[in-house]
Amino acid sequence: MENNNLNALRILYIIKGILSVLGGLAFFLFFGVGASAFKEIEQQSSNGDFSSPEVPFILITGIFGFIVLLMVAVGILNFFAAKFINERKNHTFIFVMAIVNCLSGILGIALGIFTIIEIQKVEIKQLFSGKTV
């Protein structure tokens, strides 16, 4: 039996990937609510009540679109990291994903730090290079 935490890290990367994708979809939902509110503002402005705020809406659309794409991309990359941890390959990719996760909140910081600590061990590096311990 292996004496490492790679299987636990793999499960945590799957959980983090699911949470990232769901977070991206939540931002998409918030954008939908904002778009419906903008439609209401646009209808009121067509009646001559006040001017339509098109430029801020375009800016907010761009920001929300970027956040959604970023969160979904990080979620998918977390799934790939979990796959590579299970297959014991792509040590550098897992290291980079640990650093990226350190930029994404408390769960990401904890996951990133524990991953960096675990994959820097000599026996883990040997597992990823294909050598037997």
Query: Which pLDDT tens digit goes with each residue over 69-105?
Result: 999 999 999 999 999 999 999 999 999 999 999 998 8
Dist. CA 71–CA 67, nearest whole Å: 6
Q: Residues 8-60: pLDDT tens digits?
A: 999 999 999 999 999 998 888 887 777 777 777 666 666 655 555 666 777 77
Structural contact between residues 24 and 72, judged by C-beta atoms closer than 8 angstroms: yes
Dist. CA 3–CA 112, nearest whole Å: 20
Instruction: Say yes or no to pLDDT of 2 above 70.
Output: no
List Cα–Cα distances, 68 to 24, 31, 78, 113, in angstroms: 4, 10, 15, 25
> Which two tokens mark 77?
């990359």
Dist. CA 28–CA 107, nearest whole Å: 22
